[in-house]
Structure 1
Amino acid sequence: MNTDVLLARNEGPVLVLTINNPSTRNSIGPEFFQAASNAMRAAAEDPGVGAIVFTGAGGFFCSGGNLHQLATTRDLDTETRYARIGLLHRMILDIRACPKPVITAVEGGAAGAGLSLALAGDLLVAARNAFFSAAYIKAGLTPDGGLTALLAESVPRQALTHMCLTGARVGAERLHALGAVTSLVDAGQAEAEAIELANQLARGPERATGRILGLCRTAHTQNLEEQLDDEARSMVASMVDPEAAEGIAAVLERRDARFAALRSGPEQEFTR
C-alpha cells in the first residue's frame, strides 16, 4: 500500500497512514488523493484493521495543495480542472464513508486542503502548538475539499467566515474550545495519542461502531425525524447482533467484553 506520497504501516489493529512530502510540508495533489482513497477502501475491507490514523511526516501534518502544481492548472480545460478537484472530493467522501473510525493527528499545522483532511476524520488529535488555516484567500482561491461544510460542523458561521476570508492561523487550543479538535497533547505526541485512541476503538464492537459512525456523520445534516428513523433502524439491528448479547452479558457480569471473536471478517461496506 506504500507509495512515494503516502506511507502505510500497521500498529496492531490500527492502520497508520503518513502523508509523505516533508520537503513541501506535506503538500498534496492528485497522486496523493488517489492513493489515500485506495488505502481507505482497502482498510474498509481488511478484517485486520479496526481503526485508521492519518498523520504527516517531518513534524507537520499538511500544507494543502502544491501551489507550483496549482499554478499550472490555469492552462487546463475546465473539465480537467473539475476532474482534479473530483479526486480530492472523492478522497474526503471515502474518509467520511469508512465503516471504521478515522483519527487525524496534527503536528505543526494543517492548511488549505490539509485542513479539510484534518477535519474529515471522526476525531482530531492536535499538538497544543499546532495551527489551522483556511489559507485559500491568500492565493486568490476559494475553499474546496469540503472545508466549509466540515468546519461548519464545529464552529459558528462568523468564525467560519473569518477563517475563510482572512486565511488567518487559528491555534489548536482555540479550535479545541470550539469543538473541532477533540484532544490536545504536548508537541510531538499527537501521533502516539491518536494511535492509543485508535487501538481503544479498534477493540470495541465492530458493527455497533460502524452504526454509531454513520449516525454521527449524518447528525448535522438530517432533520430530527430522519435521524430518529436512522437511529431506530440501527438500534433494531443492534438488538439482535451477537455483539449486543456479549456486551450486555459483560456489563451484567462485570467483566470486559470479548468483541474480537465476533468480528464479521472482510465483508465491509462503506457507510455512504
Structure 2
Amino acid sequence: MSTTPTVAPDLTQPVDIRQQDGTLVITINDPATRNAMGAGLFTQGKAALEAVAADDSIGAVILTGAGGTFCSGGDLRMLGALKTQPESTLEAAFDGFHGFIRALRAVPVPVIAAVEGNAAGAGFSMAVACDLLIAADDAKFSMAYIKVGLNPDGGASAFLSRGLPHQLVAEILFSGDAINASRLHQLGVVNRLVPAGAALPTALGLAGALARGPRHALSRCKTLVEQARQNTLPQQLDLEARLFGDAIRHDESSEGMRAFMEKRPPRFR
C-alpha cells in the first residue's frame, strides 16, 4: 500500500519593510491568516534589522501588523505538518524564529511594537521582545500554547518574568487565556494605551522623536537596560562608567552640552 508523503510546510509569508522619517517599519502583512508568523518575516526582517547597525539614518524600529491585528502566532496547519518532518526541519524553524527575536534585541536602536487586535502565542512573544509596546485599548494578548498542548517560545517566558511576578507569569502561561491591553498597561508591560486604530500613528510619532535624538546614547541606554538584568551592581557600575567614557568623547555629547549652554534644542542629526 502506498502513502502520500507529507509535504514540508510553506513558511513564506508577506512582509512589508520600509523606511519612514528615520524609522524602519516592519509590517507583518498577511491579513488572510491574521498575520500568522512565518519565514518571510524572519528572514527578511532579520536581514533588515541587522542592516540597521551600519545605517545611521535609522534611529528607531517599529514592528506591527496589517489589517487591524498584530499577529495570530504560528499557523496550526504548519505546526501540524512539522510533526511529521525530520528534526532538522523543526530546528530550522526555531532557528528562523529565534534568530529574528535575537535580532530584535540586538538592533542598536529602540524597537517599538504597535499592537492592534490580537497578539497571540508567538505574536505575544514578539511584542514583549520589543523595547517599548504601544497597544490599542481593545487589543488582546494571549499565550494560547497550552490550549493546544504546547509551551511558549520566542523568549516569552523570559521577557514576561523580567517584569512580572512569578504567580502572574504562571497564570498567563498555564491558562492561555486572553489578557486585555488595559490590564497589561496597569502592570507596566504596555507603555501606552491608545484608541483603536491609533497604535501605529502613535508609534510613528514616538519613533520619530527617538530617531531625532542621540542615536549612540540611546544605544548605550539599551545596552545598560539589557545588561542590568544579569549584572551584579559592581558589574553594572563598571559598565556605566565605561559607556559614559565613550559618550563623553562622542560628538553627540558635545552638541548636547553646547545646545544646553546656548539654550537651544540640540541638533543630533
Answer yes or no: is 1:38 the counterpart of 2:38.
Answer: no
Q: Indicate the residue corresponding to 1:211 in structure 2.
A: 220
State the partner residue of 2:193. 184
Task: Please give the per-residue CA displacement for 1:34-63, whole angstroms capped at 9, x wherever unaligned.
Answer: 121112112332222111111100000001
Q: Distance in 2 between matches of 1:32 and 1:10?
A: 16
Q: 2:162 aligns with which of 153, 166, 179?
A: 153
The one-letter amino acid paired with 2:139 is A
Report the count of equivalent residues.
Answer: 258
Alpha-carbon distance between aligned partners in 1 of 2:225 and 2:14, rounded to the nearest angstrom: 30
Q: Map 1:1-272; keep pairs closer than 5 Å.
A: 5-260=14-269
1:258 counterpart SS class: coil
Aligned-partner residue type, residue 173 of structure 1: S
| 1:13 to partner: Cα distance | 0.7
AA partner of residue 58 (structure 2): V
Task: After TM superposition, give the deviation of residue 4 of structure 1 in Å.
Answer: 5.2
Cα distance in 2 for partners of 1:250, 1:168 equals: 50
In 2, the alpha carbon distance for the partners of 1:202 and 1:125 equals: 17
Report the aligned-residue RMSD.
1.3
2:152 and 2:55 map into 1 onto residues whose CA distance is 33
CA distance in 2, matches of 1:44, 1:112: 29
How many Å separate the matches in 2 of 1:121 and 1:237? 25
CA contact (8 A) 2:13 2:39 kept: no
User: CA offsets per residue over residues 116-148 of structure 1, 9 Å max, x none?
Assistant: 110111110001110110110011111111010
Quote the offset at 1:223 in angstroms. 2.1
Bigger mean CA offset, 214-223 vs 143-152 = 214-223
User: Structure 1 stretches (4+) deviating beyond 3 angstroms?
Assistant: none
Stretch of structure 1 that moved more, 19-28 or 36-45: 36-45
Aligned equivalents of 1:109 and 1:219: distance in 2? 31
Letter aligned with residue 59 of structure 1: G
CA distance in 2, matches of 1:139, 1:90: 24
Rounded Cα–Cα distance in structure 1 between residues aligned with 2:44 and 2:157: 24
Any gaps of 5 or more consecutive residues in structure 2? 1-11
Corresponding residue number in structure 2 for 1:270: none
Give the match for residue 3 of structure 2. none
Find the structure with the greater CA-based Rg: 2
- Paired residue type of 2:49: M
Q: Give the whole-Å Cα distance in 1 for the aligned partners of 2:160 and 2:167.
A: 11
Offset of residue 206 of structure 1: 1.4
Distance 1:171 1:154 in 2: 17
Could you say which residue in structure 1 is the equivalent of 2:9? none
Alignment partner of 2:112: what SS? strand
Query: In structure 2, what is the Cα distance between the partners aligned to 1:257 and 1:130?
Result: 37
Question: Which amino acid letter does the alignment assign opposite residue 21 of structure 1?
Answer: D
Displacement of 1:115 in angstroms is: 0.7
- 1:204-242 CA distances to partner (integer Å, 9 max, x unpaired)? 111111111111122222222222121111111111111
Identity of aligned residues (%): 45
